[in-house]
């Protein structure tokens, strides 16, 4: 399962980076916990992390179904593409919320390919 593990690692390292950015942005923009609003630039950084949580709960089970029941290397490659799509989403969203679309769409598409492929693979196993 080396490729699936590597894809999991890369996705979670990207996520940890988005998380650390929120902590820094709290100090930079003076948004004290428990507040999560008050500055549009902070809110963009916060939403990148939140949206990545929303996507990880779909992606990680789908990745592992595909890795276990279809192909470890293909799961790994699609999973690394997912991380790439997330980094694209984040860097675009940090710059301008209107530019977050392509990265967001690619993220969901890859997760659905992994989910449908992994489920089909498990049922035909």
> Contact with a second copy (CB under 8 A): which of 14, 25, 31, 65?
65
**Close Cβ partners of 75 (under 8 Å, ≥ 6 residues apart):** 3, 4, 7, 63, 64, 66, 67, 114, 118
Binding flags for a second copy, 35-54, as an x/- string (CB under 8 A): xxx--x--xx-xx-xx--xx
Regarding 32 and contact with a second copy (CB under 8 A), the answer is yes
CB count within 10 Å of CB 121 equals 17
Q: Are 107 and 78 in contact (CB under 8 A)?
A: no
Regarding 8 and contact with a second copy (CB under 8 A), the answer is yes
Alpha helices in the chain (DSSP H): 2-29, 40-69, 72-95, 101-124
Regarding 86 and contact with a second copy (CB under 8 A), the answer is no
- Residue placing its CB nearer to a second copy in the complex, 81 or 119: 119
The tokens describing 54, both together, are 């929303």
What DSSP designation does 33 have? T
Regarding 113 and contact with a second copy (CB under 8 A), the answer is no
Regarding 62 and contact with a second copy (CB under 8 A), the answer is yes
Q: Which residues bind a second copy (CB under 8 A)?
A: 1-2, 5-6, 8-9, 12-13, 15-16, 19, 32-37, 40, 43-44, 46-47, 49-50, 53-54, 56-58, 60-62, 65, 69, 93, 97, 100, 108, 112, 115, 118-119, 122-123, 125
């Amino acid at each position: 399962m080396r490729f699936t593990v590597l894809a999991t690692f890369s996705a979670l390292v990207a996520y940890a980076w988005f998380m650390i950015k929120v902590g820094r942005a709290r100090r930079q923009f003076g948004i004290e916990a428990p507040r999560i609003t008050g500055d549009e630039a902070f809110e963009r950084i916060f939403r990148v992390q939140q949206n990545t949580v929303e996507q990880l709960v779909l992606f990680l089970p789908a990745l592992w179904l595909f890795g276990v029941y279809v192909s470890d290397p293909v799961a790994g490659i699609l999973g690394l593409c997912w991380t790439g799509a997330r980094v694209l989403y984040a860097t675009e969203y940090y710059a301008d919320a209107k530019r977050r679309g392509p990265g967001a769409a690619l993220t969901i598409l890859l997760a659905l390919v992994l989910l449908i492929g992994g489920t089909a693979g498990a049922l035909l196993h």
